[in-house]
């Protein structure tokens, strides 16, 4: 298995998809570096992984700050000597109608969902170029493939992630740097995303949808593991994933 002994950084690792992925990869033998803002949650997850004889460390990181992304990369290199995979998973979804004019929410989504991805790429890319290999994985959304009322800005950020990752894949192939990419487009996955929706009507609607269709984050973790576990000369670059019973 190619997962074993790989060094994997995961942003947004304090809950949801990030937490589930960290635990699964650790079970499979990866050395996992968890990054997020909530230290208490990161510490708990690392302790749980180590209790199962997995290898994990954490580094408190705000992905909206470029210098903290660089410090995360430096910490991972100092701890494990190299980096094999960067899973850019941090994201928020405070949806609302455009007419609600929740501009502060728009700004936060742009900062975390787009800048956070760009800063993560900027931090790890020089290393991957130098070592002629690496794997960058990003969490987009089905809202990055299809438009949904109430999700204009969130969808726009996820469309941006889609384009960034596809162009990165193409440029890597052209430049012969052997950097693999994978973009994941989840549908209704039961995480903390809904907790940040302040628009009451949107929150009620989304809550009802997720209660009806939502599946657990570990389902996405298996997709991440599958992407990493492919041979180095194979790049599976897109995964659209959701509940079987959800029409999306």
Q: How far is CA 155 from CA 122, 165, 202, 226, in A?
A: 23, 15, 15, 26
81 burial via Cβ count (<10 Å: 0-12, 13-18, 19+): exposed
Please confirm, yes or no, whether 210 is among the known catalytic residues. Answer: no
Using alpha carbons only, what angle is made at residue 247 by residues 243 and 248, rounded to the nearest 5 degrees? Answer: 80
Instruction: Give me the catalytic one of 80, 154, 185, 210.
Output: 154
Cβ–Cβ under 8 Å, residues 161 and 145 = no
Helix (H, G, I), strand (E, B) or coil at 55: strand
Mutual angle of helices 16-27 and 39-51, in 10-degree steps: 20
Cβ–Cβ under 8 Å, residues 193 and 16 = yes
Q: Which of 47, 27, 34, 15 is nearest to 222 (CA)?
A: 27
Using alpha carbons only, what angle is made at residue 44 by residues 27 and 193, rounded to the nearest 5 degrees? Answer: 90
The Cα 32–Cα 37 span in angstroms is 16
Token look-up 């194979």 returns: 234
Helix residue ranges per DSSP H, 52-151: 66-80, 103-109, 116-130
The Cα 153–Cα 174 span in angstroms is 32
Residues belonging to the active site = 154
């Amino acid at each position: 298995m190619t997962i074993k002994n790989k060094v994997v950084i995961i942003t947004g690792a304090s809950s949801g998809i990030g937490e589930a992925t960290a635990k699964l990869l650790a079970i499979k033998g990866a050395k996992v570096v968890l990054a997020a803002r909530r230290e208490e949650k990161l510490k708990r997850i690392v302790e749980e992984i180590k209790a199962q004889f997995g290898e994990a460390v954490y580094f408190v990181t705000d992905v909206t700050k470029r210098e903290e992304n660089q410090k995360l990369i430096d910490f991972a290199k100092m701890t494990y000597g190299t980096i094999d995979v960067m899973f850019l998973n941090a994201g928020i979804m405070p949806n609302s109608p455009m007419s609600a004019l929740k501009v502060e929410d728009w700004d936060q989504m742009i900062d975390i969902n787009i800048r956070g991805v760009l800063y993560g790429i900027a931090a790890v890319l020089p290393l991957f170029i130098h070592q002629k290999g690496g794997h960058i994985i990003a969490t987009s959304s089905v809202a990055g493939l299809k438009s949904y009322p109430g999700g204009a800005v969130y969808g726009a950020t996820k469309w941006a992630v889609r384009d960034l990752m596809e162009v990165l894949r193409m440029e890597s192939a052209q430049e012969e740097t052997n950097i693999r990419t994978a973009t994941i487009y989840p549908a209704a996955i039961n995480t903390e995303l809904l907790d940040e929706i302040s628009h009451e009507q949107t929150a009620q609607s989304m809550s009802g949808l997720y209660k009806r269709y939502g599946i657990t984050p570990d389902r996405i973790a298996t997709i991440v593991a599958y992407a990493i576990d492919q041979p180095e000369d194979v790049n599976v670059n897109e995964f659209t994933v959701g509940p079987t019973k959800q029409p999306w």
